[in-house]
Structures are given as C-alpha cells and as structure tokens.
Amino acid sequence: MKVSDYIAMFLKEKGIQYVFELSGGMITHLLDSLSQKTEIKVITMHHEQAAAFAADAYGRVTGIPGIALATSGPGATNLLTGIGSCYFDSTPAIFFTGQVNRHEQKGERPIRQLGFQETDIISMAKPITKACFKVENEEDIPEILGKAFYIATEGRPGPVLIDIPMDIQRASIGSKFINHANVENVGIDSENFQNICSAIRNSKRPLILAGRGIRSSFAVNQFEDFLSVTQIPVVTTLLGLDVVAYNDPLRVGFIGSYGNRWANIALGECDLLIVIGSRLDIRQTGADTRFFENRPIFHIDCEPAEINNRIKGCFPVVCDAKQFLNGFNSFTSGLNITFQKCKDWLSYINRLRNQWPDTSELKPKGINPNKFIHQLSQRSKEASCFVADVGSHQMWAAQSIEIQKHQLFLTSGGMGAMGYALPAGIGACFALGIESVVVIAGDGCMQINIQELQTISRNKLPLKIIVMNNQNLGMIRQFQDSYFESRYQSTYWGYTAPDFEKVSEAYGITAKSISSEDEIESSLTWLWNDPNQAALLQVMIDPYTNTYPKIAFGRPITEMEPMSKPLEMEGT
C-alpha cells in the first residue's frame, strides 16, 4: 500500500470525517489519497493558520484529534499559531506537514537549505506540541501514527506534528494498523473525597471554580451531578463558560481580569475554593497571589505541575475532571452524603449581582455592547455554538453571554490569537454536523482571516457572523489610555477598517449594518430569518467604548477599574 493511502485509511479508521488544509506541492500525495481512498471531506481553507484554527475547534468539539495539513516551508510555519492555540488550550490535534524528498535535505551540511522550501519545522514546533515526529523511513509510519493519536488524547490533550518527506509519501508499506491503548486511570484515594466533604460542611461561603478541563474531559453531565449533590455556587473561567448553563441557579458568573464584578468579589470572599480543570493563571487570579492563599483550596488537575505553581498551599488532587467527578459522585452516593445549600451566601452573591449589573458598567454612546450580547444570546437559541475572537468583544461576550445547556463556547485562551473565530467557527460547524454557529469578532480580528468568508460561502455553512466594529483595536487603545496618555499609535492612529457589509456581500454572504440600539431587535430577526444560511451583521460601536470592569493591576482581583486604579503597569 502506498504510504499516503495508508495514512488516509488510518484516519478513516480513527473516525476522522474532515481534514483542513491549504494545498501545496509536498502534500499532494496525501490530498489525492484522502480524496480517492476515503469519504473524508477535505476542507480547503485560504491560509494554513485558518486550517489550524479549524482543526483546533474540531478537536475541542469532538474530542477526536482535529487534522490539518500543510506543505513544507511557509505552509508549515503558518500552522504554528494554531498549533500553539491547541497546546495552550488542551486541544487534541494532529498536524501533517509535507517535507522535501530525503535526498534534497541538507542534513548535517553547514548550509541553510538544500531543497526548495526545506524548513526544519520540527525544531520550531517542539516547544508547543506534546510530540513531534520526523519520518525518516516509511516502515516507521504505522508506529508513528498510532503513537500520535495516543499522545494527542491521553492525559492533558494537545497537538502532535508529523513531518513526512514527499518520497516517503509515495513509498509502499504493509497495511496493518497499530493502535496504542489508553492507560487506565489510577484510582483516587477516598481520603481526598472525605477531606473535601468535610471542608464543604465546615464552610459557609464555598465556591467552585470551573475551567475548561471539565469540557475537555467531556464531564459536563458528571459536573451537573456534582452540583446537584454539593449545592455549591460556581464561577467559571473564560474557557469554562459553557460548563454550566446561564439559567442554572448555582451559576455565579465569569471571573478574571475582565470578569463580572460580583463574581470576582465572590471569588475573593469565599472561605473554600474547589478548582476543577483550571490552571489558576494570572488573568484568573490577578497578580496578588497572597490574596488567595488564606483559605482551603482543593485543586483538581490532570497535570501535577499546574498545582501549587502560582497559588501555593493548595490540596492537590491529580486526575482529570471526569475521573474526579465520577469518583466523588460515587463516593457521596455510596455513603448517602448530602449537603445543604448555602442560602445566605447565594443571597449575598445575588445582591452583588443586582448592585453591579454587567449592563451598567459602561455608559457608551450608541450601542451598549453588553446589552447587545444579552439580546444576541436570547435570539440565538438555535445556535449550537458561540465562537469569540480575541479583544474587547471577547470580554463583552464572556461577561454577558447567556449560554444554554446545549450550547458550546469556544475562544482562544492561552494563545489569545486574534483571527481565531472565523476559521474556528468553520471547524466547529463541521464538527457539529453543519449546525448553526455564531461567530463574534472585532474589526481588527476580522481582518486577520477575512479570506475564510470564501470558505463559508463555498461550503454553504450556516455561520451567523457578528462584527463588533469600533474602528480601532479597542483593548490596546484602552491600555494606551491608562499608560500612554492616550497616544493611540497603531490602534486608532494609522489603523482603519473596511465596511464589512460590503466585503461580506462581495463574498456572496448577505449582510447588514446597525449603529443604534433601536435597530437591534429587527436586525437579530433578520439574522435568524433563515437559520441555514450564512449572514453577517456589522454592529457599529463607539470607538471610545471601554471594557469594564477590569482588574486594577497589582491589586486583589476584587478591586477593579474604573472604581480602583492600578498600582503598576500590567504585564499581561
């Protein structure tokens, strides 16, 4: 069997239905084999970065590694941002890069390059992958593919890169597939469950911090059972927004640098914190870690190094979220353990919510972005997924989006890559079986991968695209207001954005623009007039609209702008 045929058949065997790519000479054998030997749909993007982001979203939604292909040289290097996004946000993915023929490689010669577009992508990708494989012999392919799928999905998921010379792709090998069985999880000591139960009983203000680890281990149902037993209020990270429904009475809100003010106060004032699947990074806790280290914290994470990394004194429980939740639910059920809802604590949190509503943090001219996000959510219940890009609009979405139980929320967290949402929306749409996806992007982000409007149009994908156009790079402009005396170099000065309504229509996607609040309801009715059709809504936002609340850098997370002022220039 030809190697490229073998790879195509292996991907089919693993349940892959879509791969994302931009064609190039060094992957033509792979593309031909996928097309001729399988029913896998090859989705041609218009930039390799976009293909990587689409694979990222596919992996997040399905739990099966997303697949992206690129040719050697610039094709391979263009994947790197998407590979990093998968690595930092724990997404299973496998990236195939074509490489020049073995006889065209420079090897140990003291030269920069021998073959055309020859590039050492392995050395570049190693720091942001779980593993990289440089294929040197066709007989190694079965073992490498088996290892790649195992590594991408075991433990904390992440990306793997396989670099294959073109002459190996056209070589012949046997047809036997090699699979690596996942290692069984080691049981959790029941003492951990006993300690947590005791801490909950002794607590008057307990809180759960829920992160993406719950969704990435596909443990949302188990988490719902956990909440039903413990009756503990929940705050979520940015990537954990979709682990608890908006209307769940135990849901508090979104925490972090731009978190809901009431949620950050609750996080600061709780007397017990149970962290599930979150790494407690600086944007979740603020710079003042000592502020957190004065209460019991149980930290559940599958990666030991993340526990007691920044926040010290945590009680470690090393396992994935599903393993923990299954174990705890079984433990409490077996002993018939029940807990009482902390009514006074919940009442206090709700008073804070009423005192500091997200829709009153801003007093902008024209459209209030937080109010718009609420209205968008209420009119988008047919959507299966929301995908937010990176910037002010991302935080407005996180603060105000009303996620239903059946809906997902995707965004680029650790990498924070602008240009993520449009291609990720494509990947999510395919992963969900061509169901409606809402993409929320800013004008700056939209211009980074705007070419993928053609991919949406060509494939007739039902993406509802919201462009929140404030005609500048708003989050950085706000930073310049705080620290650079409102000198708006490269954010407002020297920056422009097109009319996205006209651009969208040029790509064959119907579009509309609004600039006042009294247009919102009718425009959302227009947006969802045909759920199966792509549409773009440009929402004009006043250029000076800020993102509040925002942690006052150097202060505890409970102290937020504009009421409090930062003590120092923020470093992240």
What confidence tens digit (pLDDT) does each residue in 382-398 have?
999 999 999 999 999 99
438 and 310 in one domain?
no
Q: Please, which pLDDT band fits residue 356 given cuts at 50, 70 and 90?
A: very high
Q: Average pLDDT for residues 143-166, to the nearest whole number? A: 96
Using alpha carbons, select from 216, 333, 338, 206 the residue that is nearest to residue 273: 206
pLDDT computed for residue 421 by the predictor: 98
Asked whether the predicted pLDDT for residue 570 surpasses 70, the reply is no
84 and 122 in one domain?
yes
In a domain, 175, yes or no: no
> Within 450-499, where are the H helices?
453-459, 474-483
Indicate the DSSP class of residue 493: B
In a domain, 68, yes or no: yes
Using alpha carbons, select from 50, 58, 33 the residue that is nearest to residue 159: 58
* Mean of pLDDT over the chain: 95
145 and 200 in one domain?
no
DSSP letters for 500-553: HHHHHHHTT-EEEEE-SGGGHHHHHHHHTSSTTS-EEEEEEB-TT----SEE-T
Work out how many domains the chain is built from and give that number. 3
278 and 244 in one domain?
yes
CATH number of 458's domain: 3.40.50.970
Domain extent for 424: 363-548
Q: Please, which pLDDT band fits residue 316 given cuts at 50, 70 and 90?
A: very high
372 and 274 in one domain?
no
CATH number of 222's domain: 3.40.50.1220
* pLDDT, tens digit (0-9, with 9 covering 90-100), for 406-459: 999 999 999 999 999 999 999 999 999 999 999 999 999 999 999 999 999 999
**Final residue in a domain of this structure, among 138, 169, 200:** 169
In a domain, 571, yes or no: no
Q: Are strands 66-70 and 18-21 parallel, antiparallel or unpaired?
A: parallel
195 and 84 in one domain?
no
Asked whether the predicted pLDDT for residue 182 surpasses 90, the reply is no
368 and 275 in one domain?
no
285 and 266 in one domain?
yes
In a domain, 176, yes or no: no
Q: Average pLDDT for residues 318-343, to the nearest whole number? A: 93
* pLDDT, tens digit (0-9, with 9 covering 90-100), for 55-93: 999 999 999 999 999 999 999 999 999 999 999 999 999
Instruction: Find where tokens 């459209």 sit.
Output: 367
Asked whether the predicted pLDDT for residue 188 surpasses 80, the reply is yes
* pLDDT, tens digit (0-9, with 9 covering 90-100), for 520-563: 999 999 999 999 999 999 999 999 999 999 998 888 888 888 88
pLDDT computed for residue 572 by the predictor: 52
206 and 140 in one domain?
no
In a domain, 288, yes or no: yes
* pLDDT, tens digit (0-9, with 9 covering 90-100), for 426-437: 999 999 999 999
In a domain, 572, yes or no: no
